Amino acid sequence: MARMEHEPGGQIVTNIEARIEGSNKLTDIFGYWPSFHDAEVIELNFWRGNVDPDVGSYDFPVLTVKLHLWEITNDVNGQGYFGRVKHTLTTMRFHDVGEFSMEGFNHQNAILGLDIVEESRPQGPTPVFSVTFRPAFGISAAFTCLRLGVLDAVPCTEDGALIA
């Protein structure tokens, strides 16, 4: 449900991509904001940030995630699997990460979907994004962040390798 969020008063909004910096890098490829169904988490990189009030530096924890995603078609190949097109390697960055939890990172890290929900909260900066990597095989992760963006989205092979 990466496309759904709740506004104050319970109103459902279906364009979460409008609140994600650089989301057009993915919507230009797919024609819509993808669900990340069956996407694979290739890499995670944490930076603790740098908080130094003496020089006015307030960079809080940053998480950068590289994912391999694609579009599933209705075509079925000779082995009985649905076709996959638009193989894309994307890098997303999450700023001011908090309440992070993760389990099961392994050699594949397929996810059922990437849920991004914008929420208000009674304490601390608001709105905040609640992010969940729903596990299929491997990684399960959940956290909050104050800002997120798509850094890049480039074509890749069926194995998630960059095309030279």
What whole-number percentage of the chain has pLDDT above 70?
91
Nearest to 35 by CA among 113, 138, 111: 113
| Beta carbons within 10 angstroms of residue 7's beta carbon | 12
pLDDT digits (tens, 9 = 90+) for 80-115: 888 899 999 999 999 999 999 999 999 999 999 999
Does the pLDDT value for residue 145 go beyond 90? yes
Report, as an integer, the average pLDDT of 9-36: 85
pLDDT digits (tens, 9 = 90+) for 41-84: 999 999 999 988 899 888 899 999 999 999 999 999 888 888 89
Confidence bin at 14 (pLDDT 50/70/90): low
Instruction: Determine the Cα–Cα distance for residues 100 and 48; give it in Å rounded to an integer.
Output: 12
Residue 80: what pLDDT?
87
Residue 3: what pLDDT?
39
The pTM score is: 0.86
Confidence bin at 121 (pLDDT 50/70/90): confident
Does the pLDDT value for residue 6 go beyond 90? no
Contact 76, 147 (CB under 8 A): no
Contact 85, 73 (CB under 8 A): yes
Q: Could you tell me how many helices (H) and strands (E) the chain has, helices first?
A: 1, 12
Residue 11: what pLDDT?
39
Does the pLDDT value for residue 1 go beyond 70? no
Does the pLDDT value for residue 9 go beyond 50? no
